[in-house]
Structure 1
């Protein structure tokens, strides 16, 4: 992620997952903090669908 558009896209996409209560993307570090009840596999799939790579760190 390199811009605020990317940040907004990831936040919106992940927040639409069932069980997610909040999402915060930190643009400088390229990380997302997801709060809620969602599986790692579902996060990976959602990020892949959005065109971003899952770092595998929960």
Structure 2
């Protein structure tokens, strides 16, 4: 699998961020977010469930110990939508890692 890391906004809207990794084989976009407040497996599940419900999301892996949530999606996600999903789960999106 070949991947590229974007050095700037890839779409001009700023919604995909500079740390998104794009799979050039067309599988999707992987972005890592920092979320504050997760302390256990239940927290990981709540955040994962809410983000998984967003259109285009194909995989989510949350790690409470690091506060990082890795999201794979068909296309770059709108950070406002990700923030709303994390908020709905009861946590705070700090931003992209």
Deviation at 1:4, TM superposition (A): 0.7
Larger radius of gyration between Structure 1 and Structure 2: 2
Report SS of the residue matched to 1:56: strand
Normalized per residue, the structure richer in helix is 1
Name the counterpart of 1:9: 46
**TM-score (normalised: structure 2):** 0.55
CA-based RMSD: 1.2
Report SS of the residue matched to 2:93: coil
Number of residues of Structure 1 aligned to a counterpart in Structure 2: 58
Report SS of the residue matched to 2:94: coil
Normalized per residue, the structure richer in strand is 2
Following TM superposition, the consecutive aligned residue runs of length 4 or more in structure 1 with deviations greater than 6 angstroms are none
Give unmatched runs, 5+ long, in structure 1: none
**TM-score (normalised: structure 1):** 0.87
Deviation at 1:49, TM superposition (A): 1.5
